Amino acid sequence: MLGYLPPVFHEVKEMIEIAKIENPVLQSLWVEIEDAINNQFILTANESGADRYEKMLKISVPNTDTLETRRFRILTRFNEQAPYTYRVLKQLLDSLLGEGQYVMKRDIVNKTLSVKLELTVKGMFDAVVAMLERITPQNMVLTVELRYNQHNTLSRYTHAQLTRYTHDQLRNEVLN
């Protein structure tokens, strides 16, 4: 702190004592400013910066991960958000769910993407929705639904209860 003052103050006892008190505070402030600048970039982020990115990206981290591993995981999540083509998205769903386990319809004019999953992959529904929300363009309306009701689902209802629905509703809608 004394370096910023005129030489006349360098020998004043009160100014020397004030500088001794202010120096540690200013040093910690400079460190915080430097950390804030470094945490704006993944490759230079410290522990708290990595925590912030992980919280934003909803990444869970094992306690054993090093800072470098955490940075790598954050970078891969950012790279995951590259633009996907319709063909690549279809290949991705085929590899995850299996061919014929979904129906995907894209309407470019209305900017909609509709994916209907077979009820046989119902357990994967939430994971598929999360993945599609991450990789589909944000200007498209995404709809993900279950595709067909199976006999074991409908067998819980009596015939009288099922007569309230059309055949299409029984087959394509989730019944409560």
pLDDT in tens, 72-126: 888 877 766 566 788 888 888 888 788 888 899 999 999 999 998 886 666 678 7
Cα distances (Å, whole numbers) of residue 60 to 26, 65, 69, 120, 166: 35, 11, 12, 28, 44
Residue 46: the pLDDT is 96
The domain tally of the chain equals 2
Looking at the fold, whether 48 and 62 belong to one and the same domain comes out as yes
CA 24 from centroid of its chain's CA atoms:
39
Who has greater pLDDT, 83 or 2?
2
Looking at the fold, whether 91 and 73 belong to one and the same domain comes out as no
Mean of pLDDT values over 14-34: 94
Residue at which a domain ends, from 30, 56, 80: 80
Torsion sign (Cα): 37, 40, 42, 45: positive
Mean of pLDDT values over 16-36: 95
Strands, DSSP E only, in the chain?
102-107, 112-117, 141-146
Helix boundaries (H) for 58-141 = 67-80, 86-97, 125-135
Looking at the fold, whether 26 and 76 belong to one and the same domain comes out as yes
For residue 15, the enclosing domain spans: 2-80
- Helices and strands per DSSP (H, E), number in the chain: 8, 3
How many whole angstroms separate alpha carbon 138 and alpha carbon 134? 9
Encode 62-75: b = buried (16+ Cβ within 10 Å), e = exposed.
eeeeeeeebbebbe
Looking at the fold, whether 57 and 31 belong to one and the same domain comes out as yes
Looking at the fold, whether 93 and 68 belong to one and the same domain comes out as no
Order of strands, sheet of 102-107, starting from the edge strand that comes earlier in the sequence: 102-107, 112-117, 141-146
The residue with tokens 């979904």 is 102
Looking at the fold, whether 15 and 76 belong to one and the same domain comes out as yes
Looking at the fold, whether 91 and 153 belong to one and the same domain comes out as yes
Residue 22: the pLDDT is 94
Residue at which a domain ends, from 41, 57, 80: 80
Looking at the fold, whether 72 and 103 belong to one and the same domain comes out as no
Q: What is the pLDDT of residues 29-63, one digit of tens each?
A: 999 999 999 999 999 999 999 999 999 988 888 88
Residue 3: the pLDDT is 87
Looking at the fold, whether 112 and 137 belong to one and the same domain comes out as yes
